[in-house]
Chain A
Amino acid sequence: MAVVEREKLLEVKNLKKYFPAGKKGVLQAVDDVSFDIYKGETLGLVGESGCGKSTTGRTIIRLYDATDGEVFYEGEDVHGRKSRSDLKKFNRKMQMIFQDPYASLNPRMTVKDIIAEGIDIHGLAKTKKDRDNRVYELLETVGLNKEHANRYPHEFSGGQRQRIGIARALAVDPDFIIADEPISALDVSIQAQVVNLMMELQKERGLTYLFIAHDLSMVKHISDRVGVMYLGNIVELTTSDELYEEPLHPYTQALLSAIPVPDPELERSRERIILEGDVPSPINPPSGCRFRTRCPHAMDVCAAVKPKWQEAREGHWVACHLYDEEAVKQNN
């Protein structure tokens, strides 16, 4: 397959987000993360709880101020001092869908007002009728109907609420949507409904997604490329097929082998890499490679030097000394 030069929509460069923790402590939630998102693609971000995947998403959209690093949206820096109108401009292009459909909708607002909030702020509707029509259209787009507009969130099931969340994100006609664990709170059969809806919308509207989740099989299904995070770092990033067929980083390998597959015969015959211990604290992360304390292939060099973020194969990035000839030589 020929590699087409694709247009970058979002560039994340050396992004860091630290939180104060205790008197002198600093929690390094996201530490030096760089990646690009191309127009029209879905980039998946996976990792276990506390790895910084949600913080990455929230920092990109400026729900948190970055400690360091840059985020460029179509070449323009999202962070730094911005005027109100500049921020408004970004907010129209970038929207977010949240994990918990019970907590992310205001219980005292009708569905119509929830969805129309963005329309009002950006002045996208001239008349009341125009506003109503836009809301009805959005409801239909996400598989609800017009009669739902005057109801309150508690009258809906989890899956329906997530559809309302999606309609709200679509209201300002964004190009880029960050979906932070959009399906984790839903039942399996409902998860498939929401994922199918998101994929359809992407096809129709040419949306770009950053899809954050801990469920690797769902991420593989929806994403073109996937990044794996561990303790504030991205350890591997490549196309979703390659990641599942040939994972390079020992953490990715362990993560993939840990997922139980709904196929009993396969489960019986599968060799698992079971990681020892727990994820270390991000307040005082291990030196060098952060995964080394649980890594079955850890070498001396892993404790001393932080592995470089390098392209081990075309389009396949990994941060691990095993794929760095110099580091391996140095170690021996």
Chain B
Amino acid sequence: MEKLLELDNLHVSFQTYGGEVKAVRGVSLSLEKGESLAIVGESGSGKSVTSKAVMRLLPNKIGSIKEGAIRFQGKDLAKATEREMEKIRGAEISMIFQDPMTSLNPTMTIGKQIMEGLRKHQNMSKSEAKERSINLLKLVGIPNPELRVEEYPHQFSGGMRQRVVIAIALACNPKVLIADEPTTALDVTIQAQILDLMRDLQDKTGTAIILITHDLGVVANLAQRVAVMYGGMIVETGTVDEIFYKPKHPYTWGLLASMPKLNADSKELLAIPGTPPDLMNPPKGCPFAARCPYAMEVCLEHMPEATNVSSSHKAACWLLDERAPKVEPPEAAVVGGAR
């Protein structure tokens, strides 16, 4: 498979009054053509910062890429100039944000907002761009697109606005679509519509999707591969089946166990004790060690290397070392019975 986007040992930091916050600490990832990769983690785990770094949308003065490369089509985006990035944003890589209420311009008709990218990147004439916008609105399932193209964002409901945002993102046929919590602000029945739409569009256009979310249900629904982030690092990656049915990292176990199951009897939820680490002073060893029920001495001192479990499955945990005691995941973390 062809690698479309590759992150290599990416470090991102923010300068604050209190000191340097190391939000992303050595993330390596790859995205293949047409696949959907989910990045899962809690707030503050660095998942959104990673995606913003790819788009080079980090706040100018305080946020910076400290180290590492972002390779996209033979170019290192980490070193690209603003001018080069302008050609890529919206045309090659585009992004959908969490809140459809704030990511659209309230003073422009939605037609104009869709046409913006088309006019800039594809040099379309006004009438061509308008026709394409109407087609795009049809594609994302907005009824009466000829009329609605002239309307303003406030005339649309939340779910409809998210459809418009998706239409804008897909306008120039990007190769990569980054969706940062695309359904978090929506109700469940509307979320189902949008997830359905995204899957459908991916089949049609072959765009690769990076899905950033904290909702494991959405991951199971949409993703083919998953990267679990914690404390600015990727602690486990694998195919969606490997992560859900054969998870290896205690944090992934904790995530799976702390979610109530609709189709099972309610036992006590297995909560992860404590809170995520302070990234101003990140721990020396494994970021999860302080909350991990299986933590050993070595975990506090040394960061574990990513260990290959299978060709597609990696986890960074000392438990996978041959000298470590064998530990089975807690029962509550087992998804869908024994497999």
User: Are A189 and B187 neighbours in the complex by a CB distance under 8 Å?
Assistant: no
Q: Given that A192-B272, A258-B189, A263-B335 are contacting pairs, would A217 and B196 also be in contact in the complex, using a CB cutoff of 8 Å?
A: no
**A254 within 8 Å of B (CB atoms):** yes
**A264 within 8 Å of B (CB atoms):** yes
User: Are B275 and A260 neighbours in the complex by a CB distance under 8 Å?
Assistant: no
**A104 within 8 Å of B (CB atoms):** no
User: Are A267 and B258 neighbours in the complex by a CB distance under 8 Å?
Assistant: no
Task: Name which of B22-30, B85-93, B102-110, B263-271 contacts chain A.
Answer: B263-271
Instruction: Name the residue on A nearest B262 (C-beta).
Output: A217
User: Are A220 and B217 neighbours in the complex by a CB distance under 8 Å?
Assistant: no
**A102 within 8 Å of B (CB atoms):** no
Bits for A188-207, please: 1 = Cβ < 8 Å to B, else 0. 11111101100100000000
Query: Which of B193, B240, B261 is A274 in contact with, Cβ under 8 Å?
Result: B193
Q: Given that A188-B42, A189-B255 are contacting pairs, would A196 and B221 also be in contact in the complex, using a CB cutoff of 8 Å?
A: no
B contact residues around A218 at 8 Å (CB): 260
User: Are B220 and A259 neighbours in the complex by a CB distance under 8 Å?
Assistant: no
Q: Given that A255-B189, A263-B336, A278-B157 are contacting pairs, would A189 and B42 also be in contact in the complex, using a CB cutoff of 8 Å?
A: yes
**A265 within 8 Å of B (CB atoms):** yes
**A20 within 8 Å of B (CB atoms):** no
Within 8 A of B (CB), among A255-285: 255-267, 272, 274-275, 278-279
**A314 within 8 Å of B (CB atoms):** no
Within 8 A of A (CB), among B256-301: 256-263, 266, 268-273, 275
Query: Which of A217, A244, A266, A279 is B259 in contact with, Cβ under 8 Å?
Result: A217
B245 to chain A, nearest CB (A): 8
User: Are A188 and B255 neighbours in the complex by a CB distance under 8 Å?
Assistant: yes
**A214 within 8 Å of B (CB atoms):** yes
User: Are A274 and B196 neighbours in the complex by a CB distance under 8 Å?
Assistant: yes
User: Are B271 and A262 neighbours in the complex by a CB distance under 8 Å?
Assistant: no
Q: Given that A193-B271, A221-B260, A264-B240 are contacting pairs, would A259 and B188 also be in contact in the complex, using a CB cutoff of 8 Å?
A: yes
A283 to chain B, nearest CB (A): 14
**A106 within 8 Å of B (CB atoms):** no
User: Are B260 and A217 neighbours in the complex by a CB distance under 8 Å?
Assistant: yes
User: Are A192 and B217 neighbours in the complex by a CB distance under 8 Å?
Assistant: no
User: Are A187 and B43 neighbours in the complex by a CB distance under 8 Å?
Assistant: yes
B contact residues around A272 at 8 Å (CB): 192, 196
User: Are B188 and A258 neighbours in the complex by a CB distance under 8 Å?
Assistant: yes
**B215 within 8 Å of A (CB atoms):** yes
User: Are A48 and B188 neighbours in the complex by a CB distance under 8 Å?
Assistant: yes
Instruction: Name the residue on B nearest A51 (C-beta).
Output: B187
User: Are B190 and A278 neighbours in the complex by a CB distance under 8 Å?
Assistant: yes
Interface size class of B (residues with CB under 8 A): 35 or more
Indicate the member of A160, A187, A216 with the most B CB atoms within 10 Å: A187
Instruction: Give the secondary structure class of A's interface.
Output: helix
B4 to chain A, nearest CB (A): 23
**B148 within 8 Å of A (CB atoms):** no
User: Are A275 and B271 neighbours in the complex by a CB distance under 8 Å?
Assistant: no
Query: Which of B189, B254, B256, B257 is A48 in contact with, Cβ under 8 Å?
Result: B189
**B219 within 8 Å of A (CB atoms):** yes
User: Are B262 and A261 neighbours in the complex by a CB distance under 8 Å?
Assistant: yes
A contact residues around B272 at 8 Å (CB): 189, 192-193
User: Are A254 and B241 neighbours in the complex by a CB distance under 8 Å?
Assistant: no
**A40 within 8 Å of B (CB atoms):** no
User: Are A267 and B221 neighbours in the complex by a CB distance under 8 Å?
Assistant: yes
Task: State A256–B190 Cα separation when bound (angstroms).
Answer: 13
User: Are B266 and A189 neighbours in the complex by a CB distance under 8 Å?
Assistant: no
User: Are B273 and A193 neighbours in the complex by a CB distance under 8 Å?
Assistant: yes
A56 to chain B, nearest CB (A): 17
A contact residues around B275 at 8 Å (CB): 157, 159-160, 190
**A49 within 8 Å of B (CB atoms):** yes
Task: State A218–B262 Cα separation when bound (angstroms).
Answer: 8
Query: Which of A192, A199, A258 is B258 in contact with, Cβ under 8 Å?
Result: A192
Task: State A121–B160 Cα separation when bound (angstroms).
Answer: 48
A contact set with B: CB distance below 8 Å:
48-49, 157, 159-160, 187-193, 195-196, 199, 214, 216-218, 220-222, 244, 254-267, 272, 274-275, 278-279
Ordered nearest first, which 6 A-B pairs have the shortest CB separation?
A260-B217, A221-B260, A192-B271, A192-B258, A262-B216, A48-B187
Q: List 17 A-B contacts (CB under 8 A).
A: A188-B216, A188-B259, A217-B259, A254-B189, A259-B188, A260-B215, A260-B220, A261-B263, A262-B244, A262-B335, A263-B220, A263-B335, A264-B245, A265-B245, A265-B336, A267-B220, A274-B196
A188-B216, A261-B262, A265-B245 given; name 8 further pairs at CB < 8 Å. A189-B254, A193-B273, A214-B187, A260-B221, A262-B256, A263-B336, A266-B263, A278-B190
